[in-house]
């Protein structure tokens, strides 16, 4: 498969590294996310222990990630002090980088390589989990979906670094 040119490639190295601050997997559909300290990202499948591993291999939605900054923004709109990441149905929480700038970029977390594929728009479950206004609070702040390009281990505290376009 040929990778489409990304107009943001020329800025890839300007994206400051971030940090992985939370990992969550859901063993079965509609079950609560379980918080982990570490897990294995499996190429073309997903995170070990997550129900999405049994879905379509190669999907662009193998994992989802959101930034602490997006979570703070949603909490602000909902007039809450904070939001438990498990309520947001995202697998990974990162901080310290402009998450939207990662779109269509390859990046590393721990020893795994990911490629951000698309925006992760909020769904109706945000109303269930966050209350009235949950979907609207997350519009534009829902995070990204990604696929796993190379298997590897990830753990809380790992650096999130964009790969140079030449390394992709």
Cβ-contact 142, 85 below 8 angstroms: no
What are φ and ψ of residue 159, in 5° steps?
A: -80, 140
pTM of the model: 0.89
**For residue 7, what pLDDT is reported?**
60
Local confidence pLDDT in tens for the 168 residues of the chain: 555 666 655 555 567 899 999 999 998 887 888 999 999 999 999 999 998 887 777 788 899 999 999 999 999 999 999 999 999 989 999 999 988 888 889 999 999 999 999 999 888 888 889 999 999 999 989 999 999 999 999 999 999 999 876 666
76-83 own/partner pairs: CB under 8 Å, 24+ apart: 77/133, 77/136, 77/137, 78/130, 78/131, 78/133, 78/134, 78/137, 83/130
């Amino acid at each position: 498969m040929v990778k489409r040119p990304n107009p943001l490639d020329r800025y890839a190295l300007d994206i400051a590294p971030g940090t992985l601050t939370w990992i969550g997997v859901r063993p079965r559909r509609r079950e609560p996310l379980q918080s982990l300290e570490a897990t294995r990202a499996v190429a073309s499948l997903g995170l070990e222990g997550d129900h999405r591993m049994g879905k379509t291999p190669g999907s662009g939605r193998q994992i989802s990630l959101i930034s602490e900054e997006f979570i703070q923004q949603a909490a602000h709109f909902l007039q809450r002090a904070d939001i438990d990441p498990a309520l947001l149905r995202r697998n990974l929480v990162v901080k310290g980088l402009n998450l939207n700038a990662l779109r269509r970029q390859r990046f590393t977390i721990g020893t795994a390589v990911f490629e951000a594929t698309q925006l992760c728009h909020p769904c109706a479950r945000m109303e269930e989990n966050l209350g009235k206004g949950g979907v609207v609070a997350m519009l534009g702040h829902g995070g990204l979906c990604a696929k796993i390009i190379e298997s590897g281990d990830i753990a809380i505290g790992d650096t999130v670094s964009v790969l140079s376009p030449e390394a992709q």
